[in-house]
Amino acid sequence: MKRLSIYILILLGMLGAACSVQASTQTRSRFSSQSRASRKAENKQRKAMKKYMKAQKKAQRKMIKKDRKNTKLPRRQF
């Protein structure tokens, strides 16, 4: 009984190692399938989008600030 359980544990360990090796080769192949140029273009596009969103946010904050400045509140009467 002990031998059987030892064999089962060894078998499970070997299966786990085989699955992890297979998974690591798939991730490596996925990264190598993308060319350097495509990754560079993707990063460039991401950076441009970030810059655009930053400018939009800045313009929106500027408009809100300008609106706040131009509102005329009624004067307090004491």
Q: What is the pLDDT along the chain (78 residues), one digit of tens a residue?
A: 777 778 787 877 887 877 776 766 666 666 667 899 999 999 999 999 999 999 999 999 999 999 888 887 777 776
Q: The whole model's pTM is what? A: 0.46
- Domain residue spans in the chain? 40-68
Whole-number pLDDT of residue 25: 67
Q: What is the pLDDT of residue 19?
A: 73
Kind plus residue range of the DSSP H or E element containing 31? helix 2-33
User: Distance between CA atoms of 75 and 70, rounded to whole angstroms?
Assistant: 14
**Residue 70: predicted pLDDT:** 83
Report the pLDDT value the prediction gives residue 54, as an integer from 0 to 100.
96
